[in-house]
A = this chain, B = another copy of it.
Amino acid sequence: MTPPAASGRDLPHPVREEIRLESVLHALSDPMRLRIVRELAAEGRELSCSDFALPVTKSTTTHHFRVLRESGVVRQVYRGTAKLNGLRADDLDALFPGLLDRVLEAADRQAGRV
C-alpha cells in the first residue's frame, strides 16, 4: 500500500472519529468553500489548489483549504510541488450517511434556482 509516499511533509488531518458535525457544517457554510467542495465532487478526482480559479488571492485560498482540511472535509497530500486535494467522502459518509450528498444536491438545486 502507501503508493510512492507522496513525497515529503505531512499535513495534520483529523482522524475519522475526530470529525465533528458542527465543524463540517461550518466549513460548508462559506460560499467559497462550498464552491471548492462542489467542484471537487463534480470532478470526482483529486485536484491541486491551483486548479481552482477562485476570485480570491492565494493566501485566502490556502486559508479555505486549511479550514476544509482541519474540519475533515478534504484530505491534502503533497505531490511534488503541488498539493492534491481530495474529498473525504468515505469518512464523511461513514460518520454522517448521506449528508454530503444532500448538501451537494442542495447546492446544485440552489445554483439552478438562481
Contact = CB atoms under 8 A, between A and B. Distances in A.
Chain copies in complex: 2
Nearest to A107: B21
Contact of A102 (B23, B29, B96, B110): B96
A30 B22 contact: yes
B26 A22 contact: no
Interface of A is mostly: helix
Interface string A86-114: 00000000011111001101110110010
A36 interface: no
Interface of A: 17, 20-23, 25-26, 28-31, 34, 95-99, 102-103, 105-107, 109-110, 113
